[in-house]
Structure 1
Amino acid sequence: MFIPITPQINDYAFGRFRELPSPLLGSTPPWLMQIPVNHKISLGSDIIHFIKFIQLNPSEKDKRKQLIKQVTKVIDSLKIISKNGKPKVSFVSPQTPSCVTLYGSEKSNLALPFSDIDISLSGDFININSTIAFQFISDALANACICNEVLSLPLARIPLLKMKGIQDEINIDISIDNQNGIETTKLIGRLCHKNSMLRPLVILIRYLLHQAGFTSVMSGGLNTFMITLLVYSFLEMYNTGNITGGVPDNDIGSVFITFLQHFGYDFNYSKYGISVGVECSYFEKASRGWLDSKRPCMLTIENPFDETSNLTPNVYLTPSIKTYFANCLQWILPSMGDDIYLFLPSNSRLARIISLPEELLNRNK
């Protein structure tokens, strides 16, 4: 049985102490259960097996596809009409082309079991008040016994309706005319196609940040797009030979360790920002007026769609994230007397920094 021994470290995202993992005592994590107990593996193999374990399985994919199909059918059946100067809704046969566009991690193949489904609406919904549009949609999906409303944010910079599937409790975020989200998803797809190591490394680092409470932008953390740009810039600058002059490292284990070393210890967050342009590079934050004297250590990433814009002005958890990466590196390195490269499944090094809640422990059984 997989039982992490878990000391507490401060979780700044929620202002409380939470449990994070430390070394396991002789137990094999679920992603290595199929490996013979006496067969030694590398950290790279450990990571690859974890990615296969934590990514959506066929059953989860089918459930999410079914929910998307049901939600799309209902929304495409809503016809907005004007009656006495007020918008009303009527039900018609599903319209084509669909006004629903899928984007986000579900579209870019970075979704994890806890990921929301993101959709953007076009057509008639753009031309009416967001509050009214969300009320029409929420009522229609609830009456069809598909979703229940969780939260409506019609006045946000990008209006957002958060709902939850009734059958499988999958979260779905509905926005209106979210062109930025759609273009962001396309860019992530292009970057993943360009660098095959990007997807698995993003999934791993995103999971680590998620379990520590560092993936909420509203709480000062990093969203999937920011994580993707951070990882991509690292891979392009430090794993292509462009800067180091060396040969690209194809071992995801050693690349992961170098990433933790770089962003846990080496990178100067106070001085430099990250650009993911035609070529990835660093720039001096002060030269662009992006150095916050009150919070000089914040991660700064240039918006790839607008080089004059700082994508991460509110990632105030940067010092905590840096410390977290540094701690992960210390936890994952070989212990005194260990083989530097190989270990038994019961001594998984990745399991030293991975914590799995009960629902994830049992999901593939």
Structure 2
Amino acid sequence: MAETLKGRIAAEAKALGFDALRFTSADAVRGAGEALDAFLADGRQGDMAWLATTAERRKAPRALWPQARSVIALGLNYGRGTDPLAVLEEKSRGAISIYAQGDDYHDILRDKLKPLAARVQALTESEVKVFVDTAPVMEKPLAARAGLGWQGKHTNLVSREFGSWLFIGAIFTTAEIAPDLAEEDHCGACRRCLDICPTHAFTAPYELDARACISYLTIEHKGHIAPRYRVAMGNRIFGCDDCLAVCPWNKFAQSGREAKLAARAGSDNPPLSELLVLDDAAFRARYRGTPIKRTGRDRFMRNVLIAAGNSDDASLAPLVEARLDDPSPLVRAMAVWALARLAPRRFNALRGSHCAGETDPVVRSEWLEEAA
């Protein structure tokens, strides 16, 4: 009977477009709580304060919802079958992580999870809750325990069928459903994901210091980006796919089949010249309904200016210079840094007048640095 139920749920999930589904219990995920405590104790979460404030609820599904008995872990393949690292050689274009080039995956998954959860509720006469990367749920350990894949040395989920390209969603239910077997770790001696990291953000296999991760720096980090990371960022303006893209298990991944996961026009690694002119209204219009919008225009422009500074494209200097008077100190500071690298003579010519009128200490300190 349990297998029949699982088969019916799997069929419903497939009909909705999910690529992978497994079941696990709602007990604590072995070792996940201890790993989270160590991560937080070292301060590796950076600006992500919510990880600490929700830590106890995050450690176990029943800590979040005591009535939960089973978890349905679901995966949606967003692989494209193309090399996401090729754009890193096109320095005058902004490299945007594959997951963020289309519609917001939260919306995509939620639109599929809700009807599936309703069906589970009807089939099991149980209560259900849907989670998509916004509640204090440890999706990756849960997905690994359910058998969707395993957490690789880059800390992300790896699937034998889909490589590192799975969006993860979860349905908690009060129904008792027989759990599936967890997936074994198949990383072996491989360390490609660790060795490719531009900022050396992995302190050890399976351990990430988010504060040095380009995905964190370009998306979650609210402040100025430290000089030691800027050159290593290259033209990555939103996220970083390096550690995901080199995983050898990707060779088994199929390209994404869901039309909604296709890149939006203008979001697929656009020219930096298009992005440097965006004001807040234009930014919101361009990235409405995408993950990029949540970061906000100022942080995004901060990233774009770093990419411009790394581009070796002097034709971008006038657009960079136009950002020297931007209302945001995040933007002004990186405009100064980028101008110094692209047009050092112009930087020196403007330094006196701009430095005299600058009130932000970080922006002022950028002016006081020697031109590259």
TM range (shorter): under 0.3
Q: TM-score, normalised by structure 2?
A: 0.26
More strand as a share of residues? 1
More helix as a share of residues? 2
